[in-house]
Amino acid sequence: MNLTHYFRAGLNFSVHESGSGEPMVFQHGLCGDAKQPAAVFPDDIGWHCLTLECRGHGSSDIGPHGNLSIATFADDLAALIEERQITPVIGGISMGAAIALRLAVTRPELVQALVLARPAWLDTPNPSNMQPNAIVGQLLHDFLADEARFRFEASDVARTLAMEAPDNLASLRGFFGRRPLSDTAELLCRISSDGPGVSMEQIRSIGVPTLVIGHARDFVHPISYARTLAEWISNARFVEITPKADSPQQYQNDFRAALATFLEEL
């Protein structure tokens, strides 16, 4: 990947790019970075992948904590797209899907097509599936990292995820080692209680070609959310892929195949 920088609102953002051809903007999830979408983007299919690392993610500046929201992240991305003078496919994983969904509703002129992978939100803020992230954020806010992790490991949430969604549990455990811890706590608390800020009626108005990807054994990203979005968006295709908890490699292979087919058909 090539790294460039983008400046907005006094902040330095990291932009990671790979491939060449038609543009796709592909956003990462909460407390992730550009490596997440890069791991599932298909190679050598005539598409250029661009990922803006959101405020406080990767090597991008975080800025004031009070500005951390899906709406702000979407505004940052829209400004970059306008600066590049492109009309890309816009997609994302988890939080990235929420950002992409918001742009498809609020800035449809910027969106050629849409990819919503493992969505964690529908049309309401603070969904119950995001509570594990919020719990970790609050623990990191209230305690030092070792004590916060000890309390989390002893919780009913951790025991439930160990049985039902071990990949989610692995991600949550990783947050205790993410630095700076104060920024991680703020991101987890603020974004978990947030939402894309769009209604069901607005989502139903989306008319661009849309790919929705989901998989089972995922508490934070319910497959029912993926199916629902595919039903609400008239020009949407739903693809179920192998859960990461079953096989990370097959998950990546399935994801790449679904995305390659969608992009090649545009």
What's the pLDDT tens digit per position in 190-235? 999 999 999 999 999 999 999 999 999 999 999 999 999 999 999 9
Mean pLDDT of all residues in 67-86? 98
Point out the domain boundary residue: 173, 189, 205.
189
Residue given tokens 């956003």 in the structure block = 27
Axis-axis angle for helices 70-84, 95-106 (nearest 10): 60
Q: What are the two backbone dihedrals, phi and then psi, of residue 14, each rounded to the nearest 5 degrees? A: -95, 135
Work out the mean pLDDT of the chain and round it to a whole number.
Answer: 98
The answer on pLDDT for 177 being more than 90 is yes
Which stretches of the chain are DSSP H helices? 35-38, 70-84, 95-106, 131-142, 145-153, 156-164, 166-175, 181-192, 200-204, 223-232, 248-265
151, 173 in Cβ contact below 8 A?
no
Sign, Cα dihedral of 135, 137, 142, 147: positive
Q: How far is CA 167 from the centre of its chain?
A: 15
236 Cβ contact list (under 8 Å, min separation 6): 210, 211, 212, 229, 230
Beta bridge partner(s), residue 117: 93, 213
Residues in the chain, total:
266
Last residue within a domain, chosen from 167, 189, 211: 189
pLDDT at 131: 98
Structure tokens that stand for 18 in this block: 């790979």
Name the band, by pLDDT with cuts 50, 70 and 90, for residue 69. Answer: very high
Judge contact between 243 and 216, C-beta under 8 A. yes
Do residues 29 and 244 lie in contact, with contact meaning Cβ atoms separated by under 8 Å?
A: no
Together in a domain, 64 and 136: no
The pLDDT assigned to 32 comes to 98
Domain residues for 205?
2-124+197-265
Strand partners, 2: 17
222 φ/ψ angles, rounded to the nearest 5 degrees = -60, 135
Predicted TM-score (pTM) of this structure: 0.98
Question: In one letter, which amino acid is 7?
Answer: F
Give yes or no: residues 120 and 240 share one domain: yes
Q: What is the pLDDT of residue 202?
A: 98
Q: Region 41-56: what's the mean pLDDT? A: 96
* 14, 71: one domain: yes
What's the structural domain count of the chain? 2
Could you tell me the CATH number of the domain that includes residue 242?
3.40.50.1820
Average pLDDT of the residues in 51-56: 98
Q: Are 206 and 183 in a shared domain?
A: no
The closest of 71, 176, 82 to 132, measured between CA atoms, is 176
Give mean pLDDT, residues 126-150: 98
Structure tokens at 257: 């195949």
Q: How far apart, in Å, do the first and last CA atoms of the chain sit?
A: 24
For residue 180, whether the previous peptide bond is cis, meaning omega lies within 30 degrees of 0, is yes
> What pLDDT does 1 receive?
86
Q: Which pLDDT does position 230 carry in this prediction?
A: 98
Q: Does 170 lie in the same domain as 201?
A: no
Question: HSE (CB half, 13 Å, CA atoms) of 143?
Answer: 13
Of 170, 189, 208, the residue that ends a domain is 189
